[in-house]
Structure formats: C-alpha cells, structure tokens
Structure 1
C-alpha cells in the first residue's frame, strides 16, 4: 500500500535518535537508570531507583530506538524502491547503499580519533587495533571495512555496531522489492520471517543481526500491507510500545513478563516496541499531524549525524565539562545535569555542520557511484542473459 510522504517519519527518527543520546548520557552519569550491573539502593539513589522500577524508561531506551530505526528503514526503503515499479531503480539503490552509509561512518571514526588526541584521554580508554592501535589508519579501516564486513564493531565509535545490520537489512529489503516487481516468488517475506529465528537458534547469525533483519522485514510488510487505523487503536498500540520500551530485566513493573522471558525481557521487549510505535504513528492521521512540526522534522533531518557523532562528543567534551562543573559546584547531580545539557546542545550544533559537510556530501557521492555503476551493471547483466539464452 503506497502512503503519502509523512513528515512524522522524520520526527520518529529524530526523537528516537534523541532517546539514544539520553541512553548514553544515563549510562555515563546515571547508570542505575539502566541497572545493567545490578540494582541501586533506593535509600542512596531514590530517583534512579524509582525510574528503573517504573515503566518510564522508554524516554532513554536506546535499544528500543535502534529497533525503531530498523523498522523505519525497512518501511522507507520499501516505499522508495517499489515506487513506479522500476527494477532499475532498485539496482541503483542497492549499489548506492554502502557508500551512502560508509562516508558518514568513516568521517565519524576520523572525528573520534582526533577527539581522542585533542582531549588526551588515558591510554586505557583508547581503542586498540593491534598494528593500527589508536591510529588514523585504524580509524579509516574501522569506518570503511570493519564495521560493515568483518566484526561489525568499532572501538573508535561504538554506535557503529548497527551499520552492518543496516547494510544487510537494506540488501534484504532491495531483494524483497526486486522480487515483488520482477521475480514474483510467492511468500518470500514469510520465508525470511521463519528462517531468521532459526538461524539465530542454530547460532549461524548472532541475535542482534537476527532481530535487526526481522525488524527490516516487518518494516517491509508494514509498507506493503499497512492500513490506516483510528485514534483509539493507534494510541493503544503506541502506549503498549512505550511500555515495552521501558523494560529492564529486574524492573518491578515487568515482573509478569520477566517470569516468562527471564533475562531476555530487556532485549525482546525493546525489540517488539519498535513495531508498535512505528505502526501506531505512521498509520494514524492524528499522530501524523502531531509529529509534523518543525522541531521534530529538524531533529529527523540531522538524526543520522547526531547518531554518528554524539559518542565522541560525550566521551570527550561531556567528561571534560563534568569535571569543570564538579570542581565548581562540588555536587555530582548538578555537574552531571549541566554537563548533559552542554553535551546535547554541542551535539546538535555539531550535527548540523556534520550534516552539511559530510552527510549531504555522502549522498552526492553515493548518487555518483550509483549513476556511474548502474548502467555498467545493467549492460553486463543483459549481456550475460543474452549469452545464456543463446546457449539454450
């Protein structure tokens, strides 16, 4: 089902990215909000304890935000790819996808490298790539090769663990769209839905990749089969999604779910939250209107830039300003809050520059690659097809 362009989609992406920033700020300054290492004493940290035990964790749930990104990517890529039933466009999108993601990712690793040098972090905090230890070459290798094709991790910029999933998920979406337009094999999305959990169970792929692929395919299905829903159903789905996004493995508000899912509560609830939140917003007119404001659209426009550069800023400027505020006020909470505010403002200011100087240039570069390589690819495929036909 083809939907009109939703400004709300940009807002979803923007607010989800802000959730990631808050998640990492909380891990740095208020770790008991997550309590991954064990619960805090309520008498010592009453506020953090209260939030952790409540369902309010959704507003700093970076894991939920990542799955929202994946569902949105599946939806948006499908929407663009199947428009006008143009299979050549899908081939072009496939060719462009890696350079589109790689250029900003590479720039973020280089930025992180220089941030480490500028703030002279302790050697224990610096990345170690063996022969590439803490080097510019290591940063380039990480951003171009490692995060996309090998480990899927970056010690220069830890948020890049999603890039490999984003690339593989995108290729799966393009394959599904090409199949829908050209090949027309039946039940192919269902095959991915069924086989992906099996691949995780048999440890052929890791759980994060499996959940990411599943999210992409769900986004594809939303675009193909989604239907507008009324306000009552939409708000119900939305609040279910928020509740699931606030889950933690030891939170008192999730005891019934914990009794079933155990230690998988956090991961699976945050994973499922993306489906409810994205569907509720995209397929409801009231939500579309509500989330079409300038602030949300701006946050969505720079969201990829914010996502890529916020960790180097938090790990350097954030810690640096915290030390200054703590020395001046001698109060941990005050220093942490002020440092968080400075970090957020600095991140969004820098992200606008990064968006213009890097992200938009990455789009131009990927378009150049697509426009250059696609005609050659089409000619080669036509030549191979003709030779196969001639032999038959």
Structure 2
C-alpha cells in the first residue's frame, strides 16, 4: 500500500508540473522563446518543474502500469474485461463535470484570455490553450459540451471546451491497447522472455504509427520483467536512478516531430517508476496521507487548470497589471477549484466500483482505475 501511495505522489507531482508549464506559457511566454533567458531556463535543473510534456509521458506510463497490475497478480481475464468496460465511464465522470463548468464560464462571459493575451503576448493563451476553435457566449452550447465530455473527447479527441483534454483520447485508446497486450505479454513472460520482449517492441512499433504518446503504454510493460527479476538496488543506487531519470525528464523537450522527447521521456519515466517501486520502505513524505491526497487531487487539477488560467488567472492579471499575480491566482485558483471535483471524483470511483462489483452473482473487488 505504501508503494501505491508513492505512485500517487508521482502522479500528483506530474499534475503540478503540467499546471506550472501552462501557467508559464500563458503569463511568461518569453520563457519558451529562443533568446538567452529562455534557453537558460530550458537547460537549467529548475525546468523539471515546468516541463509538462515529460510529465504527460510519466502520466501515461503510470496509468498503463496500474491498469493491468491487478490482472498481473490474479491472471483472471475478468479483471481485464471489467477494467476495459469501466475505463470510459471512469474517465468521463469528472471530465464531463469539467467540460460543463467550462461551458458555463463561456456562457457567463467570464473568460478573459484574449485580453490577457494582448498583455502577455501569449499565442497559446490567446487561442484558449491552442483550441481548435475559440468559442463565445453565443457559440457555446451545453448540449455540445455534454456530448464532448461524455464521449467525443475520448473517441475523436474534441477538446475546445477544455484543451487539456487532448490527452483523454490518448489515455482511452492507450488503455485499450494495454488491455489487449496484457494477456499476451504476461503469458509469454517467464516462458519465452525474448518473445515477450518482442511483443512489447511490436506494441511500441504499432503505437508509433499513431502517436509518440501512445508508445508510453506498451513500453510501460517493461516494468514487469524488471520487477520480476527481484533486483532491489540499495538506497544509493536508487537515489542515483531518481536523479538520472529526473535529469532526463528535464532535458526532454519537444522538437518538430516529438521523437526526441518520446525517446528520452519514456525510458526516463520507466526508470523513475521502477526506482520508486524498488524501495521496500518508502519515506513518509512519499507514502503518507499527503502523498495520497496529492494523487487524489492530480486528475481534477489537471482537468480544471486551463479554464482557471483563462478565467480567474487572466482576470487577476488584467485587474492587477501583474503577470506574477495572474500566475499565482491561476495556480492557487486551480487547486481550490480542483478540491470539490476531487470529492466528486472519489465518489464517482466508489459508485463505479459498486456497479461493477459482481461476477456470477457473487461480489468481487472491482479493479482499480488510474487517472491521466
């Protein structure tokens, strides 16, 4: 259980990195430019706190690992089937709430991102986080938002009510790929190891044809043979692995096609997760109630931060004239708005667990679902 909390800590930290990265892009876009100051930030160790692209890869590796962990232990096909059936409603519950909230903000004309973008010169902010289309109070529609939050964002990738939802399509289809590969990989593992590794490599190759981000899902299967080897590095080796993986995640920045970032961020994420799972007795700060709270907050925080940046954060910037105050309002506001959504998210997981807790008339424990 303590190791589970350690993974929750990683998930929460990754969510904060994404929020920081988007806040920087909205209120200090010069930091992402090509001048000396920007390059100094990107090559400095502090950039690990703002490199949202690497954090997203870590999200996907964590998600894929957790999704089939129960099946790996039980080898019951039913665990995979229930996990696959639950995946869409599990994700759609909190996503639908966030999308309807964003639609309400549009309808009430409480988005100020375009005026704020004129001050900060942020193209990302001016396009509502690079939305495919920018809505207005007249064009926003609750029925359209409902359809987007309930299923379209997962199947087709629609995201113009909340642009952070671009990961939901990758998360959903990547999860399906994980469920499909798990029986083959785990059957071969321990019998024909080379065939198991070949299966993983084939999954990575197939995912590569769709998106670099999809590669994180089959690649995460490498964690299982690594853990099965039973090697437990001492604390010095574990510490070195953590430092190296964080350094790699810091340097993994996107190029024109994203290949460099994927090739660095995915192995670094696997290394970091393996290092954390290799610790038999994680420290209290990594496995206590605070870590679990951070994990519970991660998905809701990820969902609401773009609407908060474009509304409260932008408004605070316009009123105060300070980009620092705007950024602070965006980060603190995102955390506060995420708290009630976290409560709903926890309740929603319990509801789904109760609905799917059956098998031939007898109760079973529903498989745990991961958040992206």
State the TM bucket, normalised to the shorter chain: 0.7 to 0.9
Change (3 A) 1:116 1:225: farther
1-structure distance, mates of 2:258, 2:74: 45
TM-score in terms of structure 2 length: 0.79
The residue aligned with 1:190 is 197
Figure out how many residues of one structure are paired with residues of the other and give that number. Answer: 342
Aligned residues: CA RMSD: 3.4
| 1:1-392 correspondence to structure 2 within 5 Å | 5-35=3-33, 39-40=34-35, 42=36, 46=37, 48-118=38-108, 119-121=110-112, 125=128, 128=133, 133-150=139-156, 152-179=157-184, 189-199=196-206, 203=209, 205-209=210-214, 211-221=215-225, 224=228, 227-247=231-251, 264-285=259-280, 287-326=282-321, 335-357=322-344, 359-371=345-357
Greater fraction helix = 1
2-structure distance, mates of 1:196, 1:24: 31
Change (3 A) 1:169 1:264: closer
Change (3 A) 1:52 1:206: closer
Query: Are the aligned partners of 2:15 and 2:298 in contact in 1 as well (CA < 8 Å)?
Result: yes
SS in structure 2 opposite 1:154?
A: coil
Query: Are the aligned partners of 1:147 and 1:154 in contact in 2 as well (CA < 8 Å)?
Result: yes
Change (3 A) 1:337 1:7: same
Deviation by residue 1:47-106 (Cα, 9 ceiling, x = unmatched): x44212324311111111111111112222232233344332332222111110111112
Query: Are the aligned partners of 1:189 and 1:217 in contact in 2 as well (CA < 8 Å)?
Result: no
Change (3 A) 1:228 1:71: farther
Change (3 A) 1:63 1:221: farther
Q: Which runs of 5+ in 1 are unaligned?
A: 251-257, 327-334, 377-392
1-structure distance, mates of 2:239, 2:127: 47
2-structure distance, mates of 1:87, 1:266: 35
Deviation by residue 1:270-307 (Cα, 9 ceiling, x = unmatched): 33321222222221246554512443331112111111
Q: Which runs of 5+ in 2 are unaligned?
A: 115-125, 362-372
Q: CA deviation at 1:342?
A: 2.1
2-structure distance, mates of 1:165, 1:129: 22
- Bigger radius of gyration, 1 or 2? 1
